Amino acid sequence: MADLMPGLVVAAHGRHCLVESLDGERRICHPRGKKSAVVVGDQVQWQITGDEGSIERVEERRNLFYRQDEMRTKSFAANLDQVLVLVAADPEFSERQLARALIAAQAERIDVLIVLNKSDLQPAFDRAWARLAPYRRMGCAVLPLRLKSADGTEDGLDALQERLTGKRTLVLGPSGVGKSTLVNRLVPEARAQTGEISRALNSGKHTTTSTTWYWVDEARRTALIDSPGFQEFGLNHIEPMQLAHLMPDLNATLGECRFYNCTHLHEPGCAVVAHVREGEAPLSISENRYRIYGELFEELSNKRRY
Ligand SMILES: Nc1nc2c(ncn2[C@@H]2O[C@H](COP(=O)(O)OP(=O)(O)OP(=O)(O)O)[C@@H](O)[C@H]2O)c(=O)[nH]1
Ligand SMILES: [Mg+2]
Ligand SMILES: [Zn+2]
């Protein structure tokens, strides 16, 4: 048997994936056995089998960022330092999906960064920026960005790059917000497929269909992981009673409710409910965030019954 070699999974497509060796070479590999699903960011031990390779072992993961609905579990990537949730002035973002992505990251103790792109589009940008106020207030970093504009200017890249350096960042967000544009801007040889390319080439949108790892620097310390846009972000893997702990604004008031097992939905003496109000007051919980909590609690409670 050939020697096992360490590698990094840089792309995964069902039954085969792309593994990068320490010298930077990438080759197609197949996971050994049916169950050993690998995801982008996995550290693996692999061996050469002809032109290709076979993955013999997946090292223990530091974390795994994934979503789960009734139908299936979708893993985005493993061993991350942070998740960059990219939203844009246009298309208008769903706060529900944003909140869910943040909860999934928090559940795996992965840092998050929200970036609002397309600051050239006004007044949509200012409106979207205002909608993000509750996220800034709860301590989340929120950065403005402009990757493209009619007059060819960009803005906000330096501040963003500072937060990416030396880290492995998953770029996550709905379709059309500029995830691939960002990767292409910071990794010139990436040629991640963007809406732009396709429009020039043919039909319509060129949407990203698989998660791919890109190194930003030659020293391979900074990585960006491009991912396909998502519409629904299922959290079936989260227990309803865990939810409030995973939402920093709700979590800040926990322990003050009258009942230790308060669901924060209808109990008297609930500290969460007492903090629900609009405005900048410290510890305030926005009405939207509270509504999202209630809907999610309901959804996750119901799924347990069958
Ligand atoms: N006006 C404006 N358009 C932008 C900006 N950044 C990116 N775009 C455009 O937004 C469109 C979508 O960009 P993509 O990078 O393909 O978006 P994506 O998030 O990768 O989309 P999916 O792969 O479908 O998930 C492209 O036409 C970009 O040129 C910006 O700052 N302002
Ligand atoms: Mg894309
Ligand atoms: Zn309560």
CATH of residue 292 = 1.10.40.50
Distance CA(21)–CA(7), nearest Å, equals 5
Structure confidence by residue, pLDDT tens digits, 166-181: 999 999 999 999 999 9
Question: What pLDDT is recorded for position 1?
Answer: 59
**Nearest ligand atom owner, CA of 207:** 1
Amino acid residing at 162? E
pLDDT greater than 50 at residue 272: yes
CATH of residue 25 = 2.40.50.140
Q: Domain range for residue 250?
A: 240-303
Q: Is 294 in the pocket of ligand 1 (CB under 6 A)?
A: no
Atom of ligand 1 at shortest range from CA of 227: 25
Distance CA(286)–CA(278), nearest Å, equals 5
How many whole angstroms from 233 Cα to the centroid of ligand 3?
Answer: 25
> pTM of the full predicted structure?
0.93
pLDDT greater than 80 at residue 33: no
CATH of residue 137 = 3.40.50.300
Q: Are residues 194 and 209 in the same domain?
A: yes
Q: Are residues 19 and 127 in the same domain?
A: no
Q: Whose CA is nearest to atom 13 of ligand 1?
A: 178
How many whole angstroms from 179 Cα to the centroid of ligand 2?
Answer: 5
Does the residue 235 lie in any domain? no
Structure tokens given for 178: 């500029």
Question: What pLDDT is recorded for position 196?
Answer: 53
Distance CA(39)–CA(232), nearest Å, equals 20
Asked if the peptide bond before residue 91 counts as cis, ω within 30 degrees of 0, the response is: yes
pLDDT greater than 90 at residue 190: no
Does the residue 234 lie in any domain? no
Q: Is 195 in the pocket of ligand 1 (CB under 6 A)?
A: yes
Q: Are residues 266 and 214 in the same domain?
A: no
Q: Is 82 in the pocket of ligand 1 (CB under 6 A)?
A: no
Question: What pLDDT is recorded for position 207?
Answer: 78
Structure confidence by residue, pLDDT tens digits, 71-120: 889 999 999 999 999 999 999 999 999 999 999 999 999 999 999 999 99
Q: How many domains does the chain have?
A: 3
Q: Are residues 255 and 220 in the same domain?
A: no
Q: Is 135 helix (H, G, I), strand (E, B) or coil?
A: helix
Structure confidence by residue, pLDDT tens digits, 148-164: 999 999 999 999 999 99
Task: Kindly report the average pLDDT of the chain as a whole number.
Answer: 91
Q: Is 284 helix (H, G, I), strand (E, B) or coil?
A: coil
Task: Annotate 68-128 with DSSP letters as a single string.
Answer: E-SS-EEEEEES-SEEEEEEESSSPPPHHHHHHHHHHHHHTT-EEEEEEE-TTSTTHHHHH
Read off the pLDDT of each residue in 171-200 and give the average, rounded to a whole number.
80
